[in-house]
Structure 1
Amino acid sequence: MTTLSTPRGRQALAASIVFTVLATVITTVRIYTRAFLVKQMGADDYVILVSLAFSWVFFGLMVGEAYHGMGEHYALIPAAIYKTQMICFWASVPIYQTSLISTKMSILLQYKRVFSTPRMRLACWILIGFLGVYGTWTIVSAWANCVPLAKFWDPTIPGFCLDKKALWFSNSAIHIITDILILVYPMPVLKSLQLPRKQKFALMAVFALGGFVLITSVLRLKSLLVISNSTDPTYDNVGAAAWSAVECNVAIICACLPGTRAFLSRLLPHIFSTRSNGYRSKTTRPTRTGRSALTGNGNTQVLASVVGGRDKGYDHDHDLEALSPSGSSVTSYTKESKEAFAGIKVTTNVTQERTLHPKITINDDTESTKELVKKHSF
């Protein structure tokens, strides 16, 4: 088969290779973490594999475009090579849409699993339903852009085609809107977590990486504007093809990063691990005005603690260490918040302590005084 490659086409293909391989590596780390470290594969993990598979199909079609005249001026491309390029281009559009839509589905399924508040789950289901309807339309309209289909790569065939410019720009605008929604969804929940500031910022930064998807969507929109007004589409299609590959793979990378926390905690334990040499806890104690320092009657402690998982990344719950002194009668009321990440558990302990001691008579006996101090020192 006769082929025709150009430097511009190979540059776009190189960008696609880099980001597709990077997305594959990050997805592999995520699946390894979820399947072998955390041992809790979910629907979001399987959906991201579907998205990665379509990303590789898109890469294969882009190879066909790059070696069949993409980046070359239309007037210099033989008819047979041009037809092959247009067929690859026609097939790549719905494949790109399928990869991107399934990635967003995976992110929302991950939100639904991690942030299990009723309002968050409802919001996720609403957006999942919208993406299902919109995704079906955008994929079908991309496949059946022209009737008959051959009119897409052979304009001389009788028939009609949808307005490509209107279709491309409306789809791109909806993608940008959904990117913004997905980006801001988890921030209020993450902000309210009772975590150490460093860990909270680290988690928010991981989720905020989804902003790169928004940036690539905007840059792709700019490249679509160029090709939609072009009189030499085979030459000007390079930018749109390259940014499409970057966008769908950056989306996969950003979707996978939160699922790699247990793996990252091994590499960067001071940032991503939920504990350091034991459990971390922040304790708030009320004043003991008007109470004896020895008896401690009616003493109430409010313990707000963050209980971290093991460094291996397991999602098992862990018990707090005993914090009450011996000889005390302790009643604990524990309210457990929702799990923000696998292996992270936020716990608030309200402890009411009542300790009764017999009446002690203080005398001048030195040994008795020493014994008293020894018994009632904490």
Structure 2
Amino acid sequence: MAADIPIENSNQYSLIATSALSIFIATFLVGLRLLAKTKGVGFDFSDYCIVAALLWNNAMHTCCLVLTTHGGFGFHLVDIYERFGANTVIFFFKGLMSFTLLWNCTVCFSKLSVLLMYVTLVPTLSMIKWAKCIGITIILWNSSNIVAGFLICRPLAKNWNPQLPGTCGSQPNFYFAMGIINLVTDLIIIVLPMPYLIKLKMPMRRKGLAMGLLSIGIGTWVITIYRQTLLPSLNFADMPHSGVLATILSGLEPAVAIGLACIPLMRPLFSRRQKPSLESHGTDHTYSSNSKSGGFYFRKASKNPIKDPTSTFSELYDETTNSSQVELRMEPLREATPAADACVAQEGKGKENWPAGSTPEQMIRVKKTWEVSRD
């Protein structure tokens, strides 16, 4: 059993303060995001992923706190052996492996949350395909990092007991490569929505604001790049002391990423204006155009009005009366079939409007009563 470690040097104070702050900031901002979503369109899979990322983040920083109070994190390895014994060293390196696993889980869910947010805000076929491809790549990358973390030393126990005979790969190179790929995926995720935002028909000021908010994740790059400069010179033979700053930055990065991913969705907390809703009266279905597929789809209407999907991220909504954001358009299917022919039954009219040779079973009745309201 690892002994209690006295808190007596600046490294320990830095680790405790950073982990406590990371837990508080991430939890606070995720809480604000969820509160904002209750005022907007409600929760979606993006929110579930950010909550999962928050839980992994808090577990990761709790691990860091325990390493400081029971694993000798912040002391030189020689001092840990002399003052606290070999069991404390083993406890530290086991905890370090756990920290790496938790870091990958946190990063994975935080990136998936951002991709799902993009799909909600820009629900086009191309965005969905790109988000799926990038999401699968991220899952495979983080999973391989976890597996590699266990296999880098043979036998496995040498990961946490350096005195055992065996071999280990280059751990600094492993962590450096992991950080480079992390930077590349961040860049891809930030660039992904920009072509769609550029095509929006809205004032340049609002378009620039939307692009700025969705690229706010660049703020984590400063942390990541600085950490990358430390990894090549990391001394794993004295990891409890030499790895303090790199570990602080590694823990701070996903916590900041989680917080920044929440900021674009907090607008409802600071705005009294009710965002527009689209409501269908007198019909059982609501219709929406899909310019990519060349047709339109419909879904079952609920009792409540359908809220604008941009009501939480309001920068995608243009409040001017001439905005092209509020537009109803139906486009015909590219390859129409007899079964797909539709009949529009207007008020006071009936069978005389049906195409010749049709029956009611082949018809889709649409009551042409639409209302777009601005509160």
Q: Give, as a single letter, the amino acid of the residue that structure 2 aligns with 1:22.
A: I
Task: Give the direction of change, closer, same or farther, for the CA distance of 1:340–1:208 in structure 2 (3 Å limit).
Answer: farther
Instruction: Using structure 1 for the length normalisation, give the TM-score.
Output: 0.70
Distance in 1 between residues matched to 2:107 and 2:179, nearest whole Å: 11
Tell me what 2:80 maps to: 77
Would you say 1:50 and 2:52 are equivalent positions?
yes
Tell me what 1:361 maps to: none
Tell me what 2:326 maps to: 347
Q: Secondary structure at the match of 1:120?
A: helix
Within-5 A mapping of 1:243-262: 243-262=249-268
The counterpart of 2:35, out of the listed 32, 36, 44, is 32
Distance in 2 between residues matched to 1:106 and 1:148, nearest whole Å: 36
Q: Secondary structure at the match of 2:271?
A: helix
The runs of 5 or more residues in structure 2 that have no matched partner are 281-287, 293-307, 319-324, 330-375
Q: Secondary structure at the match of 1:57?
A: helix
Tell me what 1:294 maps to: none
Within-5 A mapping of 1:194-343: 194-227=201-234, 229=235, 231-266=237-272, 311-312=273-274, 314=275, 316-317=277-278, 341-342=310-311
Distance in 2 between residues matched to 1:208 and 1:244, nearest whole Å: 21
The percent of aligned pairs where both chains have the same amino acid is 23
CA offset at residue 349 of structure 1? 8.6
Give aligned pairs, total.
Answer: 289
CA offset at residue 133 of structure 1? 1.4
Q: Secondary structure at the match of 2:277?
A: coil
Tell me what 2:68 maps to: 66
Task: Give the direction of change, closer, same or farther, for the CA distance of 1:45–1:349 in structure 2 (3 Å limit).
Answer: closer
Q: Secondary structure at the match of 1:317?
A: strand
Residue 336 of structure 1 contacts residue 347 of structure 1 at CA under 8 Å; is this kept in 2? no
Distance in 1 between residues matched to 2:125 and 2:100, nearest whole Å: 36
Distance in 1 between residues matched to 2:160 and 2:98, nearest whole Å: 11
CA offset at residue 337 of structure 1? 9.0
Q: Give, as a single letter, the amino acid of the residue that structure 1 aligns with 2:240.
A: T
CA offset at residue 2 of structure 1? 3.0
Q: Give, as a single letter, the amino acid of the residue that structure 2 aligns with 1:232.
A: D
Residue 148 of structure 1 contacts residue 159 of structure 1 at CA under 8 Å; is this kept in 2? yes
Residue 337 of structure 1 contacts residue 347 of structure 1 at CA under 8 Å; is this kept in 2? no
Would you say 1:22 and 2:28 are equivalent positions?
no
Deviations 1:140-166 (A, max 9, x none): 222444344321121222444343123
Distance in 1 between residues matched to 2:276 and 2:106, nearest whole Å: 30
Task: Give the direction of change, closer, same or farther, for the CA distance of 1:315–1:46 in structure 2 (3 Å limit).
Answer: farther
Q: Secondary structure at the match of 2:163?
A: coil
Residue 120 of structure 2 contacts residue 309 of structure 2 at CA under 8 Å; is this kept in 1? no
Q: Give, as a single letter, the amino acid of the residue that structure 1 aligns with 2:217.
A: G
Q: Secondary structure at the match of 2:326?
A: strand
Residue 173 of structure 2 contacts residue 232 of structure 2 at CA under 8 Å; is this kept in 1? no
Distance in 2 between residues matched to 1:55 and 1:169, nearest whole Å: 21
Q: Secondary structure at the match of 2:55?
A: helix
Residue 4 of structure 1 contacts residue 81 of structure 1 at CA under 8 Å; is this kept in 2? no
Q: Secondary structure at the match of 1:210?
A: helix
Q: Give, as a single letter, the amino acid of the residue that structure 2 aligns with 1:16.
A: S
Task: Give the direction of change, closer, same or farther, for the CA distance of 1:177–1:109 in structure 2 (3 Å limit).
Answer: same
Distance in 2 between residues matched to 1:76 and 1:262, nearest whole Å: 53
Task: Give the direction of change, closer, same or farther, for the CA distance of 1:335–1:46 in structure 2 (3 Å limit).
Answer: closer
Q: Give, as a single letter, the amino acid of the residue that structure 1 aligns with 2:326.
A: T
Tell me what 2:177 maps to: 170
Q: Give, as a single letter, the amino acid of the residue that structure 2 aligns with 1:115.
A: V
Task: Give the direction of change, closer, same or farther, for the CA distance of 1:211–1:72 in structure 2 (3 Å limit).
Answer: same
Distance in 2 between residues matched to 1:111 and 1:86, nearest whole Å: 38
Distance in 2 between residues matched to 1:82 and 1:4, nearest whole Å: 15
Would you say 1:119 and 2:126 are equivalent positions?
yes
Q: Give, as a single letter, the amino acid of the residue that structure 2 aligns with 1:317.
A: L
Tell me what 2:139 maps to: 132
Q: State the superposition RMSD in angstroms.
A: 2.7
Distance in 2 between residues matched to 1:315 and 1:55, nearest whole Å: 36
